């Protein structure tokens, strides 16, 4: 059916995702909707059913999709949940197939922005919060109302944002940690071309502002915006995962800057550090020195750098593992 919501997981095709990110970036450039040069960053994303956020390449993918649509929020829902609670797609709505580890296997699962559904179906879905006939639909609707309200008000994560701001300030004041931050930057960008370095630096400031409201650098001049757009266009026109990985690396690097003592894992306070309370970050967030390419035995084929596939969201979402 034309308006059927995609609900089933499929095998993850990472090349397809990288290509989609290249296409979305080119679309954003043509329509003057590149989020990274706007006066305000896009808001954080949120799964309206469980309140969790995406991370790494999935976050990049969702942001570019939202920007290309001109969406004003990044509230999203899994296709399976949307279908179960009776949401109806707008005629042109297509899902994003985000990737994640499901029972040790990398699969893709469909998600939609709330803006891709009709207002009438959204209102009807939320009305299940007062329905006693179907407890599961009622629970989902109540969770949606709570998470949407918290997302719009920003009160629930206010303390987390404050902790992130404190961590950035303290990390930049400590000479030892600042040295570690600079070395991680060198390691992350050591194999980048000039365009990738421009993108990485600009997006570091973008993601920090998105997460904390802080601006580490002065607002970009028109010349700097044009340089960034040229770098994005050049990289997006390269038939490779180069753009997707550069954007994802920049996000992971900016995330580490908000962590207590620049920890790799998601630790935001000394108390959490002492208790060893954290959410494990992807291996790509290590930013260790790159190994030199080696020749395969008996073959003159250079092995190119490929980051270990770590596309798990920042939080485990539902029983699906996304």
Q: Residues 55-81: pLDDT tens digits?
A: 888 999 999 999 999 998 899 999 999
Residues 213 and 127 grouped into a single domain = no
pLDDT at 33: 96
Residues 49 and 121 in one domain: yes
181 and 133 belong to one structural domain: no
- Answer yes or no: is 309 within a domain: no
Q: What is the pTM of this model?
A: 0.83
27 and 138 part of one domain = yes
Evaluate whether residue 280 is within a structural domain.
Answer: yes
Judgement on whether residues 146 and 271 belong to the same structural domain of the protein: no
- Domain final residue, candidates 106, 137, 153: 153
Q: Is 108 inside any structural domain?
A: yes
Within this chain, do residues 32 and 113 fall inside the same structural domain, yes or no? yes
- Contact (CB, 8 A) for 211 and 44: yes
For range 242-251, the mean pLDDT: 95
Residue 75 bridge partners (DSSP): 46
Chosen domain end from 153, 171, 190: 153
Residue 322 DSSP code: -
> Around Cβ 310, how many Cβ atoms within 10 Å?
17
CA-based nearest residue to 27, from 54, 73, 66: 66
Last residue of a domain, one of 122, 153, 184: 153
pLDDT tens digits along 257-286: 999 999 998 899 999 888 887 777 777 788
Residue 318 lies in a domain: no
User: Are 97 and 226 part of one and the same domain?
Assistant: no
CA 103, CA 41: separation in Å to the nearest integer? 34
How many other C-beta atoms can be found within 10 angstroms of the C-beta atom of residue 74?
22
Regarding whether 15 and 149 lie in a shared domain, the answer is: yes
Q: How many CB atoms lie within 10 A of CB 183?
A: 13
Closest CA to 211 of 250, 148, 162, 266: 162
**Model confidence band, residue 103 (pLDDT cutoffs 50, 70, 90):** low
Instruction: Tell whether 118 is covered by a domain.
Output: yes
| Start-end of H helices in 32-157 | 56-69, 79-84, 119-126, 135-153
300 CB-contact burial (10 Å; exposed 0-12 / middle 13-18 / buried 19+): exposed
Query: What are the beta bridge partners of residue 45?
Result: 74
Q: Name the residue range of residue 168's domain.
A: 159-286
Examine the domain organization and report whether 73 and 149 are in the same domain.
yes
> Does 250 share its domain with 174?
yes
CB atoms within 10 A of CB 39: 6
Is residue 175 one of the residues assigned to a domain? yes
The structure tokens 């798990």 sit at: 312
Closest to 256 (Cα-Cα) out of 317, 178, 310, 195: 178
Tokens of 243: 């753009």
**74-78/96-102 β-pairing:** unpaired
Domain count, the chain: 2
Residue 120 lies in a domain: yes
The whole-number pLDDT of residue 295 equals 40
Whether 84 and 189 share a structural domain: no
Task: For residue 5, tell me if it sits in a domain.
Answer: no
């Amino acid at each position: 059916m034309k308006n059927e919501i995609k609900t089933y997981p499929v095998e993850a095709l990472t090349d397809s995702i990288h290509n989609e990110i290249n296409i979305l970036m080119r679309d954003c450039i043509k329509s003057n909707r590149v989020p990274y040069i706007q006066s305000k960053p896009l808001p954080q994303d949120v799964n309206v059913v469980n309140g969790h956020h995406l991370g790494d390449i999935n976050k990049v993918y969702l942001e570019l999709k939202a920007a290309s649509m001109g969406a004003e929020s990044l509230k999203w829902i899994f296709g399976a949940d949307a279908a179960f609670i009776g949401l109806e797609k707008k005629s042109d709505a297509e899902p994003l197939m985000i990737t994640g580890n499901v029972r040790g296997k990398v699969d893709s699962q469909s998600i939609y922005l709330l803006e891709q559904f009709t207002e009438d179906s959204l209102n009807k879905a939320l009305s299940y919060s007062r329905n006693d006939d179907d407890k599961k639909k009622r629970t989902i609707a109540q969770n949606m109302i709570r998470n949407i309200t918290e997302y719009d008000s920003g009160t629930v994560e206010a303390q987390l944002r404050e902790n992130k701001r404190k961590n950035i300030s303290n990390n930049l004041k400590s000479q030892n940690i600042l040295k570690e931050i600079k070395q991680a930057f060198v390691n992350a960008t050591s194999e980048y071309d000039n365009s990738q370095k421009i993108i990485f630096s600009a997006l570091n400031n973008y993601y920090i502002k998105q997460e904390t409201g802080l601006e580490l650098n002065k607002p970009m001049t028109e010349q700097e915006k044009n340089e960034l757009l040229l770098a994005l266009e050049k990289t997006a026109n390269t038939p490779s995962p180069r753009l997707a990985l550069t954007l994802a690396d920049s996000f992971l690097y900016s995330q580490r800057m908000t962590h207590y003592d620049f920890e790799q894992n998601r630790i935001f306070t000394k108390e959490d550090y002492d208790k060893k309370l954290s959410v494990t970050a992807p291996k790509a967030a290590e930013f260790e020195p790159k190994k030199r390419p080696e020749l395969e035995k008996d073959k003159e084929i250079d092995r190119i750098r490929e980051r270990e596939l770590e596309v798990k969201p920042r939080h485990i979402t539902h029983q699906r593992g996304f």
